Amino acid sequence: MNQKLKKHLEITRKEFRGIIVFFIILLLIYLAPYVFEKFITPPTKITIETINPKIKEIESFNQKYEDTNNDLSITNENHQATLFNFNPNHLPIEDWMKLGLSEKQARSIKNYESKGGQFRTKADVKKMYVIKPELYEKLEPYIQLPENKSEYEPQKSYQEYKEYTKPAAIKVEVDIATADSAEFTKIRGIGPAFASRIVKYRNRLGGFYKKEQLMEVWGLDSAKYEQIKNQTINTQGKLKQINVNTCTFEEFRNFPYLSYKQMNAIINYRIQHGNYKSPEDLSKIAILNAELIQKITPYISF
């Protein structure tokens, strides 16, 4: 009996080694979680608390990107634009900002000029990527540039400047109210292209009621005006007037003193509140100031 039991319980050295290895493996399996937890950093659990800061970082980055992009591609919404006749060539940054551009937009235009860029027509201004279409629509009536390149008159050289600034030998008096292009060329310092621009602007305006309005013609600055004013007279012929109680947008469209937005405001206010009786009624329109109303009064009727 003992011999049979001993025979069943007896193990070989090879089997004993196998048992030892088996227990070692079990021990390693048992200890593995503790070793892993101690020496290896577990991955961060993704929770609302951990993801919120990342979301805020992304939103902050997007906001900074949008702010930078807005500075270069749209007008400064917080800046109240003041519209006036202007030549975009060599216009100071401060004046661009008065027209509704941000400082970064204005500096972008000045960088374009510093690299040799020049505005020859109104379309050249429209091509500037920092001026959005809606802003250009407001500025277009005030841009003192020709529509076509053929009308563009480049700046004169110093020698040419000296020549046309010499006093005229013969007294010339050109009536700016009625003169055609040929008559305007009799003025010393006024060439054919310049004369054509004066006539076209007078037609758009509806006539001149004072000589100083010549300075509103593109390229005719105060210095040139001083040179030619004594060669001109103004008989103050009948001005072409627009009836604000019956006019359509198309009749207003080419009038240089008003932006498209101001034209629409005049027409819409009339539709909503009835006919105007006097220039004072126009002061009820928020986007028309007293100075502008006084300026347009000679050209409107009731």
Give 104's pLDDT tier (boundaries 50, 70, 90): confident
Which residues touch 248 (CB under 8 Å, ≥6 apart)? 267
pLDDT, average across residues 30-35: 78
Amino acid symbol at 109: I
Residue 129: inside a domain, yes or no?
yes
Q: Model's pTM, two decimal places? A: 0.47
Please indicate, yes or no, whether residues 121 and 141 belong to a single structural domain of this protein.
yes
Task: Name the residue with higher pLDDT: 9 or 187.
Answer: 187
Cβ–Cβ contacts within 10 Å for residue 273, how many?
11
pLDDT, average across residues 221-236: 86
Where does a domain end: 201, 233, 265?
233
Lowest mean pLDDT among 97-111, 130-144, 154-168, 259-273: 154-168
- C-beta of residue 104 within 8 angstroms of C-beta of residue 72: yes
**What is the domain range of residue 285?**
242-301
Where does a domain end: 214, 233, 252?
233
Residue 199: inside a domain, yes or no?
yes
Q: Is the pLDDT of residue 156 over 70?
A: no
Residue 214: inside a domain, yes or no?
yes
pLDDT at position 194 is 85
| Percent with pLDDT over 70 in the chain | 74
Distance of alpha carbon 302 from alpha carbon 260, whole angstroms: 20
Please indicate, yes or no, whether residues 170 and 221 belong to a single structural domain of this protein.
yes
CA torsion 106→112→114→118, rounded to 10°? -110
Residue 266: inside a domain, yes or no?
yes
Where does a domain end: 187, 214, 233?
233
Token output for 284: 């009820």
Amino acid symbol at 247: C
Task: Give the chain's mean pLDDT.
Answer: 78
Decide: residue 88, CB within 10 A, 0-12 exposed, 13-18 middle, 19+ buried: buried
Residue 49: inside a domain, yes or no?
no
Residue 189: inside a domain, yes or no?
yes
Residue 58: inside a domain, yes or no?
no
| Nearest to 153, CA basis, from 219, 214, 227 | 219
Number of domains in the chain: 3
